[in-house]
Structure 1
Amino acid sequence: MSNFNGFVFSTKFSLDYFNNFKRIYLIISIMTTAAVKNKSAITVKGSADIVCDYLNYGINSILYQRGLYPPENFKTEENYGLNILMSTDNKIKDYLSTVLGQLKDWLAMRRVNKVALIITNVKSLEVMERWDFKVEYEGDTELGDAQVSEKPLKQIKNEIRDVLKQITSSVTYLPLLDCICSFDIQIYAKDDIELPEEWAQAEPANIKNAQSVKMRSFSTNIHKMETIVTYKLED
């Protein structure tokens, strides 16, 4: 896809604990539409909740594993059969709550095809690392509000657990981030969505001399998510 238009919410975080700035990007792409309600199975909205829960735990784990914040700013939470480090910083929690809250609506409307976590060198503004969470829409989308998934929640959580394990183990091959870094969140979405007032245009974050590693995917049978980390190779 090409000719992206983008939007950015004025929020950004850096490793400098006393100078937290927040930024969230929205970059435009193309998707379709849907909404689902069914009490006996996973609905589109329920599936969007599952995806955003994964992103919340996944992003927090990345922030911890990549050392963007001191270890004492995290606490352990148990989910998916794992102990996951979650930020205790209220600013970060509020930021992610705002981003993921909006994302849930757009996922339920099938307006998003990718979410990206961007890690940038604060001094040079060079993009050091990018985590792409790609979204595909599965099942019979022609069903509209009638579409549901009968996939067992336990099976979905087991798939998510396997991805989170890979995120944790990524520190064994990712280069050390030996500079003060910030993180941004980009959301790639259809260009006809209704935007919050705070969103504005943004550019895709590319990495020079990059290497990518694709991790496992998980699926609710409504949303499928693939996780890919792209990082700058050491000179």
Structure 2
Amino acid sequence: MASRTASKDIIALRGSAAIVSEFFGYAANSILYNRAVYPGESFAKVKKYGLTMPLTQDEWVNFITSATSKNSGKLQGIVMVIMSKATSEVIERWNFNIDTYPEVVEKGSIKEKSDKKIMREIRAIKRQIDSCITDLPCLDEPCVFDMLAYTDTDVDAPDTWIESDTKLIHNTQMVKLHSFDTKVHKVDTVVSYKKNEDDTSSSSSSVIREARIELLEAELGRFVMLANESAEEMYTRLKKIIKKIRSYGSKKWTDHEVVKIMLRAYFLRNSVLCFMIRDSPNYEKMTPEVVLGRFIRHEMMENEGLLEAELGRFVMLADESAEEMYTRLKKIINKLRSYGSKRWTDHEVVKIMLRAYFLRNSVLCFLIRQSPNYEKMTPEVVLSKFIDHETLLEEAKYVDIMSKSVTASKNQDIALKANKKQKGKCVFEESTSEDNEDSSSLDEEKIALIKSFKKIMKSRNYKSNKKNDKE
């Protein structure tokens, strides 16, 4: 690692080599991403050098970059070669030439340069790599890449490295990019690509590119926000079109132009917000991401208002249990809280529950409100009281039905006895034993019913609950 002091930024040989090797890794990933050698979805976005950098998890790319970093102290240069997958013809050469200051190696001297300056120079190279992509010929066929390392003769090369030719491009055209300097190493960057053999093919390629740009611009002219589409989904669609246009070299579609399209598309959703953004003092400098953030905040506030209105109309549905009612209510509350609303505390939820349950059992709702600890009751505690009430109500209904059934059976038996008495004494005496059996059967049913009810009351722990309610 680079050596540092409190007052000076001093970089030694080893620290400079680490900075250079790290730069190679990120530069290689940026080139592979921008030239679409690997699909875009295989790259993750990370923050480095104050910029958003693409980084792939591909094992081959990571192996090559790590292998070069291990020998970065003895590298004279690295060349990334992009070739046709079908023919192995070299299409581009990205040459990173490394010059080491001799006095650092020979005398071990150290020089001062701040990290900020080095990072600024690296950022300039990264931006140049991104911008010069539009000037390079389109890669219209699948491509692969290879890495060439120019090293000192005494380097301990990995076993997987083999000698290679220089993979030069005939009829080449070169673009020199910025360089960066650590005061130990200086890195120059040059990209070479194959020049078109005749102007006709170049002109044809240009015509095709312009035609594609026109089609995409026509699509932007018709761009609208779809029904039931969120601001984020709309921006994702727009961003894909803009990215395609920029890949063909169009420099017309700046961030400000993108913002204009976003406002036009969102105008029917919220014209007032769009006017406010346009009247903002820093409107000209607003990025699409800032405008998107304003749209998302508006949607969150709008959704929050709709949900609060839904809570204002919240009632208990017919044939709905207390538990089902609470499940519906909880979904609305969770959505509101996800938008950052702090208004809907547990006590506010309890109020809505009591209001909704009032028509089902007004007495129970009054008792809960009169409870000493009402202010501290959670929705779950109130729900448990509702469930207890519903359970007891069901038990009472069951007992009532059973009682009516027994009474009806007894009345039917008495009527039968009266009919038999009218037919004569002999018949009456004959049926006496049967009457006793029926009477005994009715008594047994009553006893069984009472025992069942006692078991139910005991299982519900009715007495202890009653004491708790009094407390």
Same fold (TM over 0.5): yes
Asked if structure 1 preserves the Cα contact closer than 8 Å seen for 2:3 and 2:15, the reply is: no
Partner amino acid, structure 2, of 1:220? T
Distance 2:58 2:11 in 1: 32
Structure 2 residue aligned with 1:72: 41
Could you list the runs of 5+ residues in structure 1 that have no partner in the other structure? 1-35
Correspondent of 1:116 among 58, 61, 79: 79
Superposition map of 1:88-127 within 5 A: 88-97=57-66, 99-104=67-72, 107=73, 111-127=74-90
Asked if structure 2 preserves the Cα contact closer than 8 Å seen for 1:48 and 1:223, the reply is: yes
Residue 192 to residue 95, structure 1, CA distance change in 2 (3 Å) = closer
Structure with a larger share of its residues in strand: 1
Correspondent of 1:197 among 159, 164, 177: 159
1:150 is displaced (CA, Å) by 1.1
1:193 is displaced (CA, Å) by 2.4
Structure 1 residue aligned with 2:110: 148
Distance 2:156 2:59 in 1: 27
Asked if structure 2 preserves the Cα contact closer than 8 Å seen for 1:60 and 1:85, the reply is: yes
Question: Which gives a bigger RCO, structure 1 or 2 (Cα 8 Å, sep 6+)?
Answer: 1
TM superposition score normalised by structure 2 = 0.39
Structure 2 residue aligned with 1:13: none
Residue 82 to residue 91, structure 1, CA distance change in 2 (3 Å) = same
Structure 1 outlier segments of 4+, above 4 Å? 36-39
1:233 is displaced (CA, Å) by 1.6
1:125 is displaced (CA, Å) by 1.1
Structure 1 residue aligned with 2:275: none
Structure with a larger share of its residues in helix: 2
Could you list the runs of 5+ residues in structure 2 that have no partner in the other structure? 198-471
Structure 2 residue aligned with 1:53: 22
1:38 is displaced (CA, Å) by 5.0
Structure 2 residue aligned with 1:17: none
Paired residue secondary structure (2:175): strand
Q: Which moved more, 1:189-198 or 1:42-51?
A: 189-198
Distance 1:93 1:191 in 2: 25
1:82 is displaced (CA, Å) by 1.1
1:203 is displaced (CA, Å) by 0.8
Residue 203 to residue 222, structure 1, CA distance change in 2 (3 Å) = same
Number of residue pairs aligned between Structure 1 and Structure 2:
193
Residue 195 to residue 91, structure 1, CA distance change in 2 (3 Å) = closer
Once the two structures are superposed, what CA deviation does each residue of 1:51-97 show, in whole Å capped at 9, x if it has no partner?
11111111100000000011100111111121111113344323422
Structure 1 residue aligned with 2:177: 215
Residue 192 to residue 204, structure 1, CA distance change in 2 (3 Å) = same
Distance 1:150 1:220 in 2: 8
Partner amino acid, structure 2, of 1:224? K
Partner amino acid, structure 2, of 1:233? K
Paired residue secondary structure (2:180): strand
Asked if structure 2 preserves the Cα contact closer than 8 Å seen for 1:139 and 1:221, the reply is: no
Distance 2:29 2:82 in 1: 13
- The structure with the larger Rg is 2
Paired residue secondary structure (2:112): coil
Asked if structure 1 preserves the Cα contact closer than 8 Å seen for 2:82 and 2:92, the reply is: yes
Asked if structure 2 preserves the Cα contact closer than 8 Å seen for 1:80 and 1:157, the reply is: yes
Asked if structure 1 preserves the Cα contact closer than 8 Å seen for 2:71 and 2:155, the reply is: no
1:143 is displaced (CA, Å) by 4.7
Correspondent of 1:133 among 96, 100, 107: 96
Q: Which moved more, 1:112-121 or 1:81-90?
A: 81-90
Superposition map of 1:7-18 within 5 A: none
Asked if structure 1 preserves the Cα contact closer than 8 Å seen for 2:24 and 2:65, the reply is: no
Asked if structure 2 preserves the Cα contact closer than 8 Å seen for 1:38 and 1:148, the reply is: no
Q: Alignment identity in percent?
A: 34
Aligned Cα root-mean-square deviation (Å): 1.9
Structure 2 residue aligned with 1:185: 147
Once the two structures are superposed, what CA deviation does each residue of 1:137-180 show, in whole Å capped at 9, x if it has no partner?
12623654x32221101110100000000001111100011111
Paired residue secondary structure (1:228): strand
Distance 2:14 2:189 in 1: 21
Residue 169 to residue 42, structure 1, CA distance change in 2 (3 Å) = same
Structure 2 residue aligned with 1:16: none
Q: Which moved more, 1:135-144 or 1:45-54?
A: 135-144
Distance 1:70 1:222 in 2: 36
Structure 1 residue aligned with 2:132: 170
Asked if structure 2 preserves the Cα contact closer than 8 Å seen for 1:135 and 1:225, the reply is: yes
Partner amino acid, structure 2, of 1:100? T
Structure 1 residue aligned with 2:383: none
Asked if structure 1 preserves the Cα contact closer than 8 Å seen for 2:82 and 2:144, the reply is: yes
Paired residue secondary structure (1:185): strand
TM superposition score normalised by structure 1 = 0.76
Correspondent of 1:42 among 6, 11, 31: 11
Distance 1:142 1:91 in 2: 32
